[in-house]
Amino acid sequence: MLPVVAIVGRPNVGKSTLFNRLTRSRSALISSYPGTTRDRQYGEVSWDGCHFIIIDTGGITEEMDEVGKLITQQALQAIEDSDKVLFLVDAKTGILPEDKIIAETLRRSGKHIFLIVNKTEGMDPVMSVTDAYELGLGTPLAIAAVHGSGMANLITSLFPEPAAELVEASETSSIKLAIVGRPNVGKSTLTNRMLGEERVIVHDSPGTTRDSIFVPLERFGKHYILIDTAGIRKRKKIEEVPEKFSVVKTLQSIESSNVVLYVVDARLGVSEQDLKLLGFVLECGKALVVAINKWDGMTEDARDRTKATIDRHLDFVRFARVHYISALHGSGVGNLFDSIHEAYESATKKLSTPLLSRLLQKAQTVHQPPLVKGRRVKLRYAHPGGYNPPCIVIHGNQLHALPESYRKFLAHFFQKELHLFGTPVFIEFKTSENPFSHK
């Protein structure tokens, strides 16, 4: 097992900046607004032969509102799960009463605590850590996470043992699953249900999740990385700056995922915003599974009306499996994994030129291409142009004249014949050039 290190501290001391610096990524959302990070974020660090798991947490505060309590609970759980704790304080603001409260909590935890003074850039290295001694947690270590100074000393302090004693992480291929939808449709509840624990914060207020949270999951020998994303509202309703960043992170999560699990509220139905987001998923060529959440407690008449409306609105993504679930009670959630794996297998399926060319001839037998100026469009052969999503390149003559309806017919025909469920199929056309056209 890799050692686990948690980063804790009050809001806005640079925990997410340090997390990104150590993981050499931009996984954690960063802004100057306190409280941007809410859920705990996991990452893997490989630095000078040392390998370990790092946990980014939300700021521990004394705020008595419900969300503040949940953020603190997430941080306390991270401390419980960790082997070592990096306690971050701010050199520019000095030691505040909140820091002293956190220090007392950490002393009671019994964990190995490392006191880190951040934001020391431009300051005297000795004077910058003087105030931190009053916390009574040993010798403070000065760093500047934003510039990367002090990182080598930090790693050496964490792991003075030879690097050979630390176990390297196994390189297991995982399916990246982005859970996407509008605010308050139950994405975080569904994430927790799939994980079997209260891993991310769930609250009735929309926009509780701000960052995209990456969580590894193993189920029946198959490995997944669940990405709980922030809900995206209409642009005119977005006022807070962190929410604008959250939208960007959600779109990036969609682009980096293998499969998108799109969540719709059964009681609200499919909105214009849902259609726009699904259109973006389709443009990115991502495999797709649709979950209609909050199905419990609805009458049969309401269910029938909802099904009819959803079938009509989601006709343009009819390749996707649709599941009716209740994330709160768990009904139907287990069936999602079969469709997720099916969609991933379909998106990454390797195709051959002979097979595609035979199917192309079969498609023309079923439905002949149209006539253009008295001459029939000729589709000669097809070959694979890529996968994830599957792309089929068709060669022939006068392909520019093919109507959109026939292009859609070909995409649907290949999808059905190749048993590609849960993924779009892209068709590219290449017109054969006449070698005597210049004469």
Q: Tell me the pairing of strands 4-8 and 50-56.
A: parallel
Dist CA 411 CA 416 (whole Å): 9
Taking the mean position of all CA atoms in its chain, how far away is CA 287?
14
User: Does the structural domain 175-347 have CATH classification 3.40.50.300?
Assistant: yes
Q: pLDDT tier at 339 (50, 70, 90 boundaries)?
A: very high
The pair of structure tokens assigned to 281 is 């998923």
Nearest to 285 by CA among 191, 387, 166, 438: 387
- CATH superfamily for 4-165 is P-loop containing nucleotide triphosphate hydrolases (3.40.50.300)
199/96: higher pLDDT: 96
- 211 pLDDT above the threshold of 70: no
> DSSP label at 326?
B
d(CA 288, CA 129) in angstroms, rounded, equals 51
What pLDDT, in 10s, does the model give residues 80-106?
Answer: 878 899 999 999 888 998 899 889 888
Of 400, 407, 316, which is closest to residue 367 (Cα–Cα)? 407
Average pLDDT for 109-126:
88
Helices (H), 377-437: 404-417
Main-chain dihedrals φ then ψ at residue 141, nearest 5 degrees: -120, 125
Asked if residues 272 and 318 have their Cβ atoms less than 8 Å apart, the reply is no
Q: What is the pLDDT of residue 228?
A: 80
Is it true that the peptide bond before 389 is cis, omega within 30 degrees of 0? yes
Which ranges in the chain are annotated with CATH 3.40.50.300? Answer: 4-165, 175-347
Q: How confident is the model at residue 12 (pLDDT cuts 50, 70, 90)?
A: confident
List, by residue range, all CATH 3.30.300.20 domains of the chain. Answer: 353-431
CA distance linking residue 118 with residue 13, whole number of Å: 7
Across residues 176-182, what is the average pLDDT? 90
CA proximity to 210, closest of 59, 340, 49, 311: 59
**pLDDT tens digits along 414-436:** 999 999 999 999 999 988 665 55
pLDDT of residue 210: 44
pLDDT at 394: 92
Domain 353-431 sits in CATH at 3.30.300.20
User: Distances from the Cα of 330 to the Cαs of 107, 194, 200, 339, in angstroms?
Assistant: 38, 9, 16, 16
Q: How many CA atoms lie within 13 A of 157 on its CB side?
A: 20
For residues 99 and 88, what is the distance between their CA atoms, to the nearest angstrom? 9
Q: Does position 165 have pLDDT exceeding 50, yes or no?
A: no
* Confidence grade of residue 39 (pLDDT, cut at 50, 70, 90): low
> Using CB atoms within 10 A of its CB, is residue 230 exposed (0-12), middle (13-18) or buried (19+)?
buried
Max mean pLDDT among 156-160, 286-290, 325-329 falls in 286-290
